[in-house]
Structure 1
């Protein structure tokens, strides 16, 4: 079976995008306790899908999948943090004042992704300030991102292998 056919390429890219964006979104909302702007998640998903579609021309091994997935997950996390700070401010509340007057309301319109998940974790500002108090937290978060990324890469690699064997 030719796994580089257009319809299979789109399905493979969509699965890759779903995993990267879902892992990034869920972990980010759970750790921060603050929802993500819909526009930020949508733009990230479109960019990841486009990149995955371009690179889905042939079967990839575990190393190549992991080499793409882990940095994309970390990059998505950075973009999500930027979106949260732009729309909700560092304390997790709505941004008011000068940022609102220059059009940030267009970016932040449409509600937040993960709002129910964020409410389950408690107050975002208190949670983030508590997490950032310990310097080892950054290394722990990086290790968690890399570990989850490697597990997801292994899962995707096995799926690639199964699809190729069909």
Structure 2
């Protein structure tokens, strides 16, 4: 049975996308305490699916998989964080004023993904206090965690 055909590639890419995007959004919301905009999650989902579908044609080794996954994970985290800041502000509250009139409603429309998880995480006050007290090593620790997750996913 040949598993390299287009239908099987699409199914593998869809399953990979579902697992990766679900874990990524859940962990991002839990750690930040702020929901993600629906359009941001939809854009990352489409990008992950397209990359997975394009690369699902043949078997690849650990190094090549890690070489794709780690930059994609860092990019997804950057997009998620940017979406959160654009739609919910630095402190996790709604953005008001002239930004709403320039089309931010389109970007932030559709509700927040993971709002119940954000409530479980304790809200943005705790996350803001944690980040305010973080030293310069916290950024390196966060980068190391993302690289570690990318390596684990590649394995």
Asked if these proteins are the same fold (TM beyond 0.5), I'd say yes
Matched, 1:24 2:24: yes
* Alpha-carbon distance between aligned partners in 2 of 1:88 and 1:95, rounded to the nearest angstrom: 5
Unmatched tracts of structure 1, length 5 or more: 155-166
How do residues 11-160 of structure 1 correspond to structure 2 at under 5 angstroms? 11-132=11-132, 133-154=134-155
Comparing 43-52 with 119-128, greater Cα deviation is found at 119-128
Q: In the comparison of the two structures, how many residue pairs are matched?
A: 154
Aligned-pair distance for 1:124?
Answer: 1.2
* Alpha-carbon distance between aligned partners in 1 of 2:87 and 2:131, rounded to the nearest angstrom: 21
TM-score, normalised relative to structure 2 = 0.91
TM-score, normalised relative to structure 1 = 0.85
CA deviations over 1:86-108 (Å, ceiling 9, x no partner)? 11011101110010111111211
**Distance 1:12-1:153 versus aligned 2 partners, 3 A rule:** same
Query: Considering only aligned residues, what root-mean-square deviation do their CA atoms show, in Å?
Result: 1.5
Unmatched tracts of structure 2, length 5 or more: none
Q: Contact 1:37–1:84 at 8 Å: present in 2 too?
A: yes
